[in-house]
Amino acid sequence: MSDLKYSKEHEWIRLEGDVAVVGISDYAQAQLGDVVFVELPEVGKQVAKNGDAAVVESVKAASEVYAPLSGEVVEVNDALGDDPETVNSAPTGDGWFFKIRFADPSELDGLMDEAAYLEYVKGL
This prediction has a pTM of 0.96
C-alpha 110/C-alpha 96 separation (Å) is: 20
1-13 burial: b if 16+ Cβ within 10 Å, else e: eeebbbbeebbbb
User: Given this structure, which CATH class describes domain 5-105?
Assistant: mainly beta
* 71-112 pLDDT per residue, tens: 999 999 999 999 999 999 999 999 999 999 998 999 999 999
Question: Between the CA of residue 72 and those of 26, 39, 63, 101, 109, what are the distances in Å?
Answer: 25, 17, 21, 5, 19
Domain positions in the chain are 5-105
3-state secondary structure of 116: helix
Q: Are strands 5-6 and 19-24 parallel, antiparallel or unpaired?
A: unpaired
